[in-house]
Amino acid sequence: MTQYAYFKKGNLDFLLEDGTKIAAPKFINKGAKNYRFHLKNNILEKKCIECETFLDVQKLIAGEFIDIHDETKIHYISESSGYQGKCKSCLNREQNPQENVHIRSVSDENNFSLTDENLNYIQILSLIKNISEDETLNFIVSIIRKHNRIEYKESIK
């Protein structure tokens, strides 16, 4: 038998090693792919969508799920929403960028053209986030890079 039970949206039931059918908490339905159940330890785990680390959030005891999460590692939102998508480490990294990040200025040789709509968006977002337009543009590119990883394979000749 496998070590973990995985969930699919709409199908939150799983079988324990002894064959007992268990219904997982309903909040899992919103992010089913980010949860798994450790069958030997009877622990529900939540995956951080950023670093993909699994964190213990609930334990199955006598047929009931009991909260065991560590608030310093992941935030519990509510019974209907469950746990936050990102762990506290990833959230802290976003809020406090590393101080040793090397910032390189774009030389005068590089020209960028933005549509009026995109420039307006950057200006508004920079005001909302209370950061410069340069920081806003870097913030947007960082988000795009995190969610759209470029992969390539070197060809061997």
Q: What is the mean pLDDT of each run of 10 residues along the chain (157 residues)?
A: 81 83 88 90 92 93 92 90 90 67 55 81 87 86 81 63
- Kindly list the domain boundaries of the chain, sorted by start residue: 4-93, 101-147
Phi, psi of 72 (to 5 degrees): -75, -15
| Structure-token pair, residue 23 | 């219904």
- Given a contact cutoff of 8 angstroms between Cβ atoms, the answer to whether 35 and 44 are in contact is yes
3-state helix, strand, coil in the chain (%, to 5): 30, 25, 45
- Given a contact cutoff of 8 angstroms between Cβ atoms, the answer to whether 5 and 13 are in contact is no
What pLDDT sits at residue 57? 95
What pLDDT sits at residue 99? 47
Does this model's pTM top 0.75? My answer is no
